Amino acid sequence: MSQTILITGATSGIGRDAALYLHSRGHTVIATGRNERALAELREAGLHALRLDVTDPASIDETRREVDAITDGYGLDALVNNAGYGLLGPLEMLSDADVRAQFETNVFGLLAVTRAFLPAMRGRGYGRIVNVSSVGGRIVFPLGGAYHATKYAVEAMSDALRMEVRQFGVEVAIIEPGYIDTGFTATTMGHLEKYVDDPSSPYADTLAMADGAAAKLARFAAKPRAVSKAIERAIVSRYPSARYVAPWINMFGPWIRYLMPERLVDWVLRKVAGLAGGQSPAHALAADA
Ligand SMILES: NC(=O)c1ccc[n+]([C@@H]2O[C@H](COP(=O)([O-])OP(=O)(O)OC[C@H]3O[C@@H](n4cnc5c(N)ncnc54)[C@H](OP(=O)(O)O)[C@@H]3O)[C@@H](O)[C@H]2O)c1
């Protein structure tokens, strides 16, 4: 059945692909974002497209009014909270302002948009809230502490909300993408630049390798369509799952993480991130025994 769906951060990457895919599947899509040019392109493709900055309460209010106008006061069948970005860098060095901004978008923005559209869903006794988290909401890479903390927060809030609102006919699902080929890495590297440029940083050697590591990882990136399909399943399934890992192969990451001794996992991930020193895996295992 055709659904009315609002997507945040629909001006690029996963959000844009999901908007176009869901539109092609016959749903009424309200694509939102900050980039006017990208919004105009989506309008040309036949979608509704509205300006929405998820960190700006006035912008959220305005979007809710516009959605009411578009839907004759009905509201949304489904809200896809997708807007987000990754802040990378050693936790010791990241500025408070950068960490707070990361939470403002990925966590508080998601919560504010949810609160704007949930009451109408609750009142009607039907609705879907689909939160785009990450496999990084269940497994942590070094230098990703701030970003992972936001995705762990999204996972916890989604789990609680799912139990709180099912009584009102509203279902909450989490989407956990693996590494996807989008503008995500470019944005992340942009935020990292000012930390890489400080040669006096005790993490300078590690940060200097970040570009190379990102380029190596990019070879394994999947296309956004796998995530868009998971989003549709979460919206149209009669009994949606709590979590959709997309592409599915990425579900092995968290499993391995839970099955292996933590110090061994740490050692592997530190090696991958080029963090030198510390104990060998043999020492790590002996310490765990
Ligand atoms: N790509 C991956 O490997 C990956 C993996 C796991 C999870 N994810 C998650 O997937 C989601 C989408 O990311 P993506 O990979 O598609 O990256 P992307 O191509 O950079 O898209 C991110 C989108 O979020 C928007 N956005 C950022 N801050 C916003 C704000 N304050 N208000 C409204 N929109 C805002 C961006 O808009 P602007 O262009 O205006 O900044 C952009 O449209 C994110 O939540 C990300 O954490 C991505």
In whole angstroms, what is the distance from residue 128 CA to residue 244 CA? 14
Q: CATH for 4-184+221-259?
A: 3.40.50.720
- Ligand 1 centre to CA of 86 (Å) is 8
Write down the pLDDT at residue 44.
98
Residue to probe by mutation, ligand 1, list 12, 37, 81, most atoms within 8 Å of CB: 12
Backbone angles phi and psi of 168, in degrees to 5? -100, 10
Instruction: Quote the pLDDT of residue 206.
Output: 83
The helix/strand/coil state of 31 is: strand
What pLDDT was estimated at residue 271?
86
Note if the pTM is more than 0.75.
yes
Instruction: Give Cα separations from 181 to 106, 230, 280 (angstroms).
Output: 19, 16, 33
Residue 216, helix vs strand vs coil: helix
Distance CA 39, CA 16 (A): 10
Compute, in angstroms, the gap from residue 188 CA to the centroid of ligand 1.
10
Which run of H or of E encompasses 189? helix 184-196
pLDDT for position 287: 53
Greatest Cα pair distance, the chain, in angstroms, is 65
For residue 36 the two structure tokens come to 């006017």
- Using one digit for the tens of pLDDT, what is the confidence trace for 43-66? 999 999 999 999 999 999 999 999
Three state DSSP letters for 79-137 = EEECCCCCCCCCCCCCCHHHHHHHHHHHHHHHHHHHHHHHHHHHHHCCEEEEEECCHHH
Check residue 198 and give its pLDDT: 82
Instruction: Please list every protein residue whose CB sits less than 6 Å from any atom of ligand 1.
Output: 8-9, 11-15, 33-35, 52-55, 82-85, 105, 109, 132, 134, 177, 179-180, 182-184, 187
Q: Which residues, at least 6 apart from 96, have a Cβ–Cβ distance to it below 8 Å?
A: none
What does the pLDDT look like over 189-230, one tens digit per residue? 988 888 888 888 888 888 888 777 777 778 889 999 999 999
Q: What is the pLDDT of residue 281?
A: 53
Rounded mean pLDDT for each run of 10 residues along the chain, 289 residues in total: 96 98 98 98 98 98 98 96 96 96 98 98 97 97 96 98 98 97 92 84 84 79 97 98 96 91 92 70 55
147 is a catalytic site residue: yes
Domains of the chain: which residue ranges? Answer: 4-184+221-259
